[in-house]
Amino acid sequence: MLHAPKFLEEEHSELMNSLRNASKTGDETGKAVGRLLEKLEPHFQDEERLVTPCLAALTPLAEGDITVSRQITPLLTELERRYRAFYEEHKVIRERALAVRNVAARDGHSDIVDLIDGLTHHAEIEEEVLYPAALVSGKYAAAMSRKT
């Protein structure tokens, strides 16, 4: 069984726990965080189902272990289908995150402003590195499966 890269699993968990706590402020910031979570939670679930297994396969594939191909090749079709959707979802998430940031700054929640900045940075890493790496990993695994 492939396990998600530990840093990514921890980062998702920390972000979600911090955002859930931030949603309990009882003011407009909390409401804005709640709207962000409505979109972010299912997005993270889809990433963990499709993207992280392909990322987990990178090291074994790079080391020549193509047996992991059997585990991620079935995900490739759906990952390819959802690939652009992940970017589109990030646009909505980014809009909601900006709304949270603005309200949090107005309400004096500098910790939540920092949290949103961290979420934005996380999304940039996903877009520029992790999503493409997951797709390449899946395609490589599929190609290796066809050769065996």
Backbone angles phi, psi at 28, to 5 degrees: -65, -30
pTM above 0.85, yes or no: yes
Tens digits of per-residue pLDDT, 83-130? 999 999 999 999 999 999 999 999 999 999 999 999 999 999 999 999
